[in-house]
Structure 1
Amino acid sequence: DLALIYDGYLAALEGKHSDSSTRLYALAEFLKQNPSAIASTNFYITDIYDFSAPELEIIKSIANNALSLTVGITSGYSNPNKRIYPDRVAKKLASLCEGRVQIERNDESLPDSVDAISKKLFSYISTSADEKAENNGKVALRSAKDRSDEVMRLALDVAKGVREGRRYKDFEVYASDLDAYGQEIKSTFARYEIPYFIDKKELLSEQAKARFILQAIACYRTDFRLGEVCDFIKNPLFSIYSRYGEEGAYLFENYCLKYNVRFVPTSTDDCFKKHEERKIFNAKEQKSGFIYANIDDKVEILDNTVENVIPEAVRKEVVDILTPERFKGSKNIKVFVELTRELLEKIDPYYVKYVDKIASQSEYFRKCAEQVNSKLEAVLDEIVEVLDEQADINKFESVFKSMIKTLKIALVPTYLDCVFIGDGESRFAGNGDIYVLGANSGKLPSQSGGGVVLTDKDEQMLSALGVEITPCERQKALDGMYAVCDLMKKPQGRLVVSYPDSGDGGALRPSTVVFELQNMLCENGKPLEIERIDFEHYTTLEGKDLQKAALALSTKKACFNEVLKNGVSGRCDANDTDVFGAALSLLSEDEKKLVNDSRVSPVKIALPEKSYFAGRTSVSRLETFFGCPYAHYFNYILSLRKRKDGTFEGTENGTILHFVLEKFFGDVRDGNVKDEDEAKQKAYEYFDRAIKENNFEVLLEKADTGRILARLKEEGATLCKDLFKVQKRSAFRPFLLEAKIGEGKIEPMSLEFGGKKVELKGTIDRVDILDDKFIIIDYKTYKSADLTLKELYCGQKIQLYVYMRAVEKSLGATPCGVFYFPVYSSFTDESGNRYKYKGQACDSRETLGLIDEMATSNPDCAIVPFKTDRKGENLNPEIHLSKEGFDKLGDYAVAIAGEGASKIADGYIKPSPLKDKCKKCDFAAICAYKGANERKMPKVKGLESFDTEGEKNE
């Protein structure tokens, strides 16, 4: 019946009025021009508590010309909360009808609990124990951990009610925030096969086809600015149109962000250049124009795809479908309409595919989609009919957007028997139970979200001047309170009010409504309690818990979800085993396999041998493995990478400073730097070269990264000046800079395990020598850089000791220091010293003085570590090592590197991170085992733990 009436209503409109406001004005004008049309009709208006200007005009015409007019308004009379009731509306209507009004009073008889709500809610008055109304099970209060549990409890109540003979339409749901609850309701109700109708008018402008046109127009208007183009290609209609689908859109965006493409070229010729990542392919390194930092060799990509190919193809698809030239310049606005229609016609085949796809999820979406075409056509027809003038794309966009932004798609329920779900704008029948979800502070009643043109103070000032704003903010707040009060009076069955403790990334507080209901109601003479919703555990004991388990597992979809969520995650205890075992038996074989596969953390994978190592590996890769084998799997086996988005990151910072320091200390070594001023000029020169040779010019084009680079340039100059002064205090001189293992003076080095041999690769930032002594220096651009024995023991900081062995073997020299050198921008410490090596140094005071002469005169200010016991007599044996100590740590580093390489080659990927590694992991958002099997770093004191001889050191 509703569908027939609605079709007749649309036919009567004849497509002339596209939104509710124009329809109201049309009706008001019709009644004004045709008063006799309603002369023999009785009119009844109810369930409306405020009226807009056109509605008041309609009521005035009816009052003057109809046989009779009856308006039902709820009055607060002398209730404690009478301020929230719409008595003012009755006065306004009486004034409108010029005194020809008869007021009839009808008192409603309500149950005690509902009567208390009607009179006291939002009165904020305290109620003594003997004044509390007896609840008699009418009102229930609940709290949940989150929205998911809150909605699941609702679903179980509905499932239980229907099993006991009730109808789905006996349940109505009020959601304080439909956007927040909508998806949770849809997924949960789908699991329990509960039909539902969400009473939410969909904005036309948010539908895929309308957004496609708006996004296309935005591309034309902004001359194909990247942000607008990315929005366009992510539209589902373009994804269906494109040969590359959604993946192509993201590859396109990745390319443009990485290379700072601010405006997408619209030429039909090839525009995106071939920028290749640095690659390792078939054991051969392929250099490109855009390289990564030489900080380490973590970047290994095991494919040979040129990254511009798909982005360029997607760009051409955009140009092909939008034909940019046709929308340029000034035209009659009707021409823009025709061009828009041509674009709509071009995407029609893809829109049909899109509608079929979303309708497979729910017919609700098909009904939305069916109205889009007619409404868009109506808007375009109206533009043609009303406007006949010259316009550019900006004017056309303004007109088109303003028209469709106000249009909404209203739907009727898909099912005759379904759960009704609405919000503050919905009308609830109250024939059964009403559930109120999200009874949180600021949500029930809803509060203004800001963004108003006139503030409350502005309204008060205007009111004092005799200018009344209707409705004012105060009145809106009162209307919101009344709407909640009216809702809670309606259910003939139960009223269930619930709230979550958390949501939207933070803690949530219950609404005052919850405490007011507790204040005014009691159950069997006792205060009304708040039931805690708990789905953590089910037990096999007789009683409510078992009944709850039976309801929670009442469909096969629910069984699969609950077994996967609770059984696999370990949330259930031993008492629940039988419950989940029974649920598991109901699953299909494929579902059982999924459950069983997800019970166990992955330990090993089996891939072709070349998938693990392409003949060689880096020490930094082994360090990643020891930090977490699963993170290593993501990084080096799957080759996952963080998106490069054209912003300035730590890798760029390291690349530039490494380049500058390499070139600068090359000049220092060769005697080409005479003083601090020349050091500063050299730094400027090498900074500019670093930008150019690493293709970082794109960063200079953006204001924010440009400022960062300008500051970094000055920091680099200061760094070179300071280090020039520090270097003059040392008898050791720079010898090797950015030295690669297996090249030049550094002989090849390999790891052998299980009959296999893998070459090591790596770059040593700097080696300083004095006669037959050397120190290794590794620059670090982050503050937390340190070289501790416990990290070395766990395989986390083995790189420099492996490098030490390579240098020792190649030069035949003795190690006297292995250091990280933090070169981040910082303040000086208490001793006035800004720079400190971090790591282990030799145990010879004489040699320490040769590394930095201040080690003998003022050791606190020396750049080299100098740590003694409390008496100052003996050097700390964990910081200052003998030749045997360096040998022990070097042997251990090489041995554990071989062990790591062996496990990698064996396919070991078990998620077992070192403590706190997950907090800084690039893959935390996609890892299913975050925090699982976490390993603590052992306490390591002295060098005894680093013995590699005798019994195997586990």
Structure 2
Amino acid sequence: MLQLILGRSGSGKTEYVFSQIKKLVENGEQNILLLTPEQYSFISERRLLKDLGESRVNSVENGSFSRLSNEISRRYGSAPLPILTKGAKAVVFKKACENIKDELKLFGKNIDNVAFINSAINIYDEMKSCRVGADDIMQASVNTEKETLSQKLHDISLIMSAYDLYIDGKFLDGASELTRLYTKLVDLDYFVGRTVFIDGFNGFVAQEYKILEVILSQAKAVYVTFCTDSHINNDKYNLFSYVNNNINYLREAAENAGASMLEPIYLKDNHRFNNDELILSEKFLFSNVKNTSGDIPQNIELYSAKSVTDECDFVSDRISKLLRSGVKASDIAVICRDLDKYQKELQFSFSKYNIPYFNDERQNISSEPLIMFVNFLMRCSIYSLSSNDIFSMLKTGLTALDDEAVNELENYAFIWNIKGSKWKKEFTNSPKGFSEEMSDNDLKKLEAINKSREYVVERIQKFNSACKKKTSADICKAIYFTLIDFSVDDKLRGLAQSLNDSGKSVLAFEQGRVWDLLMDILDKLATISNDQNITVKEFYKLFNLMIMNEDLGNVPSGLDNVQIGSADRIRCNNPYAVFVVGANEGEFPQSVSSSGLLSESDRNILIENKFKLYAYGETLNAQEKYFAYMALSAPSDRLFVSFRNSSADGAESIIVSELKNIFSNLEVHSAEAEYSVSAAETDANTFEILASNFDDNTEFIATLKEYFADKPEFESRLSAVKRLSKNEDITIKNSDLARKLFKNDMYLSVSKIEDYYKCAFRYYCKFGLNARPRIKAEMNPMETGSVIHYVLECIVRDYGSKGLIELNSRQITSEVKKYLKQYLESKMGDYSEFTVRFKYRFMYLSKLISCVVLRLREEFENCDFEPKAFELSIGNGENGESVKSQAINLPDGGTIQIRGSIDRVDTYTENGEQYVRVVDYKSGIKKFKLSDILYGLNLQMFVYLFTLCKSDNELAGKEAGVLYLHSSRKIYNVSRNDIDLSVLKEDSDAYKMVGVVLNDEENPIAEHMEHDLRGEFIDVKCSAKNGVSGSIVSLEDMGRISRKIDSLIEQMGVELHMGKIMQNPVNSTNHNNTCEFCDYSSVCANRKEIELKEIEELSFSDTLKKLKEDDAND
């Protein structure tokens, strides 16, 4: 006997079932079976225990179809074969497909595609659940006139047959479990004399209908509930058309079973809703009949969100208020259609609001540290010690190497471009990059790096050896023993313990579950594979295919949790409040799109051939609308619906428009309207409100400022928000801390001073925090400059100006190559290890440097100054520096001393007076502007000159000049016959030295730097009309420049001691890339607006006037 219990959502169908069960038990009935969906089993058990008590609850067998299968197997036995897990099934499926690859007409090229394997499995499962066999599909392939569909069906049939043959006698497939259950039940009297209740299903698949036939043929009575208000309505656009179709299938099953069918019982009374608004909503949702209410709903709320984050925070805010009002977390549900979009955001938001939650969706394991470790271990073997794979494996944190050791190893590999076979050789180069000698600290660091290298590489090579020409089972063993060799098991236990100690018990428990799952995966891979040898690369594909199909269920942290779920899976137990999120067009209800191996047109053709497959097309659209209806009608008291209002998210969905049609005055709330005292739920979310509205002049915000000012844990965050609000400069408020960080007595290079004046914040990051970018050991502009410096120094030092004049072009080229090779061997490590590109760029420098040396030869022929020193060191004298710098005393009691090295020092003596000039080799193209020194820029050579001339060094004398020699050349695109004088002149001017030259009545020095003063070698000319002109200064000008620089150095020291580390990047035509190429831009964007320090670019003469004015004012 079949009795249908029908009614709309909330009409009491489940209540009817439990009341009937209770009556039967009270009347002595003890042979009752209750079947529900798996997700509903726990709720059913709890309800039965509540209604019947411990003494009588065993009168009812409570289960699902899968539980029923397990019970039958337990009682009557089953085939002694293992059931394939989802992951193992994917691997076996791929192997089966490979066996028939050459026979496939359409899918032969897709066998190695993971997405195809998963789609093929889905089709297999669908066919099995719909009781469609491989022979049926092959017959359909023959019958269909559509060639592509015929080929698809042909291949699907072959794949199904191949898979069934592969597992026959070895494994059982879960997709056939219900078919096996049906086969057993046909020969048993399991349901004879029993009363069966079936509740909570929206419909059934073909396998389940066959089982229902057995139940209907044997049971004394069968009660089945469905959510519908008219089971005879065949309108395909009806809200309950999906359910009604399933009722028709059930009636057919009853007829086949010979069971009588009683008149359906329709339940119409409200058994759920506690207010008229929800009653009205349920009654008219998706209905052709509308009954509009003009009242403003108090129990239904619409929210228009700016983003998913805003939407989740709205949900958290309302749930927090409900919990505070006394509603239990377990009486609240959050329902969406696209759980992937909301899961992480909801978890973060719930944590912020301290809301307990549970999500019954299973989680992918591919991102678990242990799984990633095994993945990258195999990749290290497959891709011959790829550095990316090695460090990805190490950064899982599951090896004996700590973070510092991994970072040092990674830095070395980055600097020296270590990859592949280089990992097998001992590292011998400096951890700092190109360096002539290594310090004791460098040697210790290199030794530690090599120990780390040996630790990693030896184990990977051991794994490689264990996997050569071996079976899958052998590789599984090799993976296990490598894990033990790396002490991964111990590290995982330690991780679990630390997580547990920090209160993250669920995450701690998960580590053990992942280890157990990995062991099971390796066991399965060893079991399902044959005895043929397999490469690690082939095994890696199978392992990943299995990983992509395995997952972990979530473990609830307690009983009182907010339930999160997808509308097609979630089973609610009359929750007090429901939050429906993502009510955007195409998202909820979800747009139906054709996917998988069979298109919608393919399915239409199959339906015409009497194939009963899963829902598709119009049926799926009806099903999506039904899911929305069930979600909206699930709560007993409160309904919250939210959607996103950005153009990228599309319009609001039919859910929103339906509610607006029913409730014409339904208000739509938004974040702008939510800023009030009532929005303050927890310290975390309230501080966000304060930070977002910090500038608002309201009593509420003022109160929040006072509240958080008294909370030490928010002190730094509150300070940061204040600074951001006022766009204040960053400062270190504790001057003692600033002095400790930057030192009371500073010992600085001039480049540090220039860095400070380019941007104080960059100086703080670079020299205060010592955060430096890693630099590869390659021919970058910086290293190119070092090479040029070295070669020019060696040649000029060895030959001097007179000796250089005697060399011809061929000899110069030979000398340049000699010193290039010398530099390479002494500072760049093993030449054979460098790339062809590197070697080409390095040797290309010989042409460039040769041109510079030839130019120097010409200059020395026209100059009286003699090179006297190279790389002349300046410092405090403690490390044997040649020139001792004078300390600059700061007003606050500190000092600054300069250190550095002068590229070249030239001298000329006249009338017993020694004149000194410093020369700097520049490999870049930056122009010299004297006005830069007014702002603390381009000071270096001036500081060196003044420091040398104020010292007691034998090279000290009168300041004769600062000159920059550019060693780079411009490339011209011209034909052989098209070179004109202007190009030659421009090329010659590129080597002209720029800077300043001393020349006044008492010190006519310019003519000793270039005899005829034609402006060919220095930027000074002499003519009958203008006399000596160009970049010349007097001795008084030199003094003013010196005093200006001293004041700038003093100012920098004082400001650093005061903690002034402002974000004030310099900007001008000559300095317009300060921010563009800054290494610290990623940590700098914490101000509303960064104000550039605009500097005025003055002409040479105007700069001298400015210096004179400033000097007079001081």
How has the CA–CA distance of structure 1 residues 531 and 577 changed in structure 2, closer, same or farther, with 3 Å as cutoff? closer
Contact kept, 8 Å, 2:946 with 2:959, in 1: the verdict is no
How has the CA–CA distance of structure 1 residues 776 and 388 changed in structure 2, closer, same or farther, with 3 Å as cutoff? same
How has the CA–CA distance of structure 1 residues 216 and 804 changed in structure 2, closer, same or farther, with 3 Å as cutoff? same
* Cα distance in 2, alignment partners of residues 265 and 278 from structure 1: 16
Contact kept, 8 Å, 2:906 with 2:917, in 1: the verdict is yes
Aligned equivalent of 1:762: 900
Aligned equivalent of 1:618: 749
How has the CA–CA distance of structure 1 residues 661 and 558 changed in structure 2, closer, same or farther, with 3 Å as cutoff? same
Q: Letter of the aligned partner of 2:304 in structure 1? A: R
* Cα distance in 1, alignment partners of residues 591 and 968 from structure 2: 51
Aligned equivalent of 2:351: 190
In the TM superposition, residue 27 of structure 1 has moved relative to its aligned partner by: 3.2
Per-residue Cα deviation, 1:419-462 (whole angstroms, up to 9, x for no partner): 22345775263845544556789977889999x998999999x9
Question: How high is the sequence identity, in percent, across the aligned residues?
Answer: 13
In the TM superposition, residue 349 of structure 1 has moved relative to its aligned partner by: 3.6
Is structure 2 residue 1080 aligned with structure 1 residue 923?
Answer: yes
In the TM superposition, residue 9 of structure 1 has moved relative to its aligned partner by: 8.9
Matches within 5 A, 1:9-24: 16-19=83-86, 22-24=173-175
How has the CA–CA distance of structure 1 residues 608 and 48 changed in structure 2, closer, same or farther, with 3 Å as cutoff? same
* Cα distance in 1, alignment partners of residues 68 and 1018 from structure 2: 87
**RMSD across aligned C-alpha pairs, in angstroms?**
6.2
Is structure 2 residue 306 aligned with structure 1 residue 173?
Answer: no
Q: Letter of the aligned partner of 1:143 in structure 2? A: A
- Match among 497, 507, 516 for residue 642 of structure 2: 497
Contact kept, 8 Å, 2:592 with 2:617, in 1: the verdict is no
How has the CA–CA distance of structure 1 residues 930 and 560 changed in structure 2, closer, same or farther, with 3 Å as cutoff? closer
Is structure 2 residue 582 aligned with structure 1 residue 420?
Answer: no
- Match among 339, 343, 354 for residue 495 of structure 2: 354
Aligned equivalent of 2:827: 694
Q: Runs of 5+ in structure 2 lacking a partner?
A: 1-40, 46-62, 75-81, 90-172, 271-277, 724-730, 910-914, 975-979, 1068-1073
Is structure 2 residue 428 aligned with structure 1 residue 277?
Answer: no
Q: What TM-score do the two structures reach when normalised by structure 1?
A: 0.71
Per-residue Cα deviation, 1:621-677 (whole angstroms, up to 9, x for no partner): 1222333444334323443322345676553444445446656777895147645x8
Aligned equivalent of 1:294: none
In the TM superposition, residue 770 of structure 1 has moved relative to its aligned partner by: 8.8
Contact kept, 8 Å, 1:787 with 1:839, in 2: the verdict is yes
In the TM superposition, residue 481 of structure 1 has moved relative to its aligned partner by: 6.8
Q: Secondary structure at the match of 1:197?
A: strand
* Cα distance in 1, alignment partners of residues 459 and 414 from structure 2: 23
In the TM superposition, residue 273 of structure 1 has moved relative to its aligned partner by: 3.6
Q: Letter of the aligned partner of 1:311 in structure 2? A: I
Q: Secondary structure at the match of 2:398?
A: helix
Q: Letter of the aligned partner of 1:141 in structure 2? A: Y
Q: Letter of the aligned partner of 1:622 in structure 2? A: I
Is structure 2 residue 287 aligned with structure 1 residue 247?
Answer: no
* Cα distance in 2, alignment partners of residues 313 and 671 from structure 1: 53
How has the CA–CA distance of structure 1 residues 592 and 732 changed in structure 2, closer, same or farther, with 3 Å as cutoff? same
In the TM superposition, residue 620 of structure 1 has moved relative to its aligned partner by: 0.4
- Match among 531, 534, 543 for residue 670 of structure 2: 531
- Match among 183, 186, 190 for residue 35 of structure 1: 186
Aligned equivalent of 1:207: 368
* Cα distance in 2, alignment partners of residues 71 and 855 from structure 1: 107
Say which is worse superposed, 88-97 or 691-700, in terms of deviation: 88-97
Q: Letter of the aligned partner of 2:321 in structure 1? A: K
Is structure 2 residue 707 aligned with structure 1 residue 583?
Answer: yes
Q: Secondary structure at the match of 2:748?
A: strand
Aligned equivalent of 1:542: none
Aligned equivalent of 1:296: none
* Cα distance in 1, alignment partners of residues 362 and 550 from structure 2: 9
Matches within 5 A, 1:18-97: 18-19=85-86, 22-32=173-183, 34-36=185-187, 56-57=206-207, 59=209, 62=212, 67=217
Per-residue Cα deviation, 1:229-248 (whole angstroms, up to 9, x for no partner): 2122212332xxx2x53332
Q: Letter of the aligned partner of 1:752 in structure 2? A: I
How has the CA–CA distance of structure 1 residues 393 and 739 changed in structure 2, closer, same or farther, with 3 Å as cutoff? same
How has the CA–CA distance of structure 1 residues 547 and 332 changed in structure 2, closer, same or farther, with 3 Å as cutoff? closer
Aligned equivalent of 2:116: none
Aligned equivalent of 1:753: 889
Contact kept, 8 Å, 2:888 with 2:1046, in 1: the verdict is no
* Cα distance in 2, alignment partners of residues 883 and 473 from structure 1: 93
* Cα distance in 1, alignment partners of residues 619 and 1086 from structure 2: 48
In the TM superposition, residue 157 of structure 1 has moved relative to its aligned partner by: 1.3
* Cα distance in 1, alignment partners of residues 831 and 837 from structure 2: 13
* Cα distance in 2, alignment partners of residues 314 and 113 from structure 1: 66
* Cα distance in 2, alignment partners of residues 441 and 668 from structure 1: 82
Is structure 2 residue 935 aligned with structure 1 residue 794?
Answer: yes
* Cα distance in 2, alignment partners of residues 516 and 727 from structure 1: 85
In the TM superposition, residue 228 of structure 1 has moved relative to its aligned partner by: 2.5
Aligned equivalent of 1:407: 550
Q: Secondary structure at the match of 2:444?
A: coil
Contact kept, 8 Å, 2:873 with 2:883, in 1: the verdict is yes
Per-residue Cα deviation, 1:348-390 (whole angstroms, up to 9, x for no partner): 3432222233344434324533533443343344344434514
Contact kept, 8 Å, 1:629 with 1:912, in 2: the verdict is yes
User: Aligned pair count?
Assistant: 875
Aligned equivalent of 2:15: none
Per-residue Cα deviation, 1:798-836 (whole angstroms, up to 9, x for no partner): 223223435666464665665484838666899754675
Q: What TM-score do the two structures reach when normalised by structure 2?
A: 0.63
Matches within 5 A, 1:277-296: 277=432, 288-289=436-437
Contact kept, 8 Å, 1:155 with 1:192, in 2: the verdict is yes
Q: Letter of the aligned partner of 1:368 in structure 2? A: E
Contact kept, 8 Å, 2:235 with 2:241, in 1: the verdict is no
How has the CA–CA distance of structure 1 residues 826 and 441 changed in structure 2, closer, same or farther, with 3 Å as cutoff? farther
- Match among 872, 881, 896 for residue 740 of structure 1: 872
Contact kept, 8 Å, 1:777 with 1:819, in 2: the verdict is yes
* Cα distance in 2, alignment partners of residues 579 and 160 from structure 1: 21
Is structure 2 residue 847 aligned with structure 1 residue 717?
Answer: yes
Per-residue Cα deviation, 1:20-69 (whole angstroms, up to 9, x for no partner): 974233333342454345766868597678x9xxx655555655775489
Per-residue Cα deviation, 1:905-942 (whole angstroms, up to 9, x for no partner): x4745344335756644334456966788563354653
Kindly indicate whether structure 1 or structure 2 has the higher relative contact order, using CA contacts under 8 Å at least 6 residues apart. Answer: 1
Q: Letter of the aligned partner of 2:943 in structure 1? A: V
Q: Letter of the aligned partner of 1:391 in structure 2? A: N
Say which is worse superposed, 844-853 or 878-887, in terms of deviation: 844-853
In the TM superposition, residue 195 of structure 1 has moved relative to its aligned partner by: 0.4
- Match among 151, 157, 176 for residue 312 of structure 2: 151
Q: Letter of the aligned partner of 1:19 in structure 2? A: K
Q: Runs of 5+ in structure 1 lacking a partner?
A: 121-128, 280-286, 292-301, 502-507, 539-544, 868-872
Q: Letter of the aligned partner of 1:889 in structure 2? A: I
In the TM superposition, residue 407 of structure 1 has moved relative to its aligned partner by: 0.9
Aligned equivalent of 1:897: 1049
Aligned equivalent of 2:325: 164
Q: Secondary structure at the match of 2:1094?
A: coil
How has the CA–CA distance of structure 1 residues 79 and 162 changed in structure 2, closer, same or farther, with 3 Å as cutoff? farther
Contact kept, 8 Å, 1:226 with 1:264, in 2: the verdict is no
Q: Secondary structure at the match of 2:489?
A: helix
How has the CA–CA distance of structure 1 residues 377 and 141 changed in structure 2, closer, same or farther, with 3 Å as cutoff? same
Matches within 5 A, 1:377-526: 377-392=519-534, 394=536, 395-423=538-566, 426-427=569-570, 429=572, 431-435=575-579, 485=628, 489-490=632-633, 492=635, 493-499=638-644, 509-513=648-652, 517=656, 521=660
How has the CA–CA distance of structure 1 residues 432 and 402 changed in structure 2, closer, same or farther, with 3 Å as cutoff? same
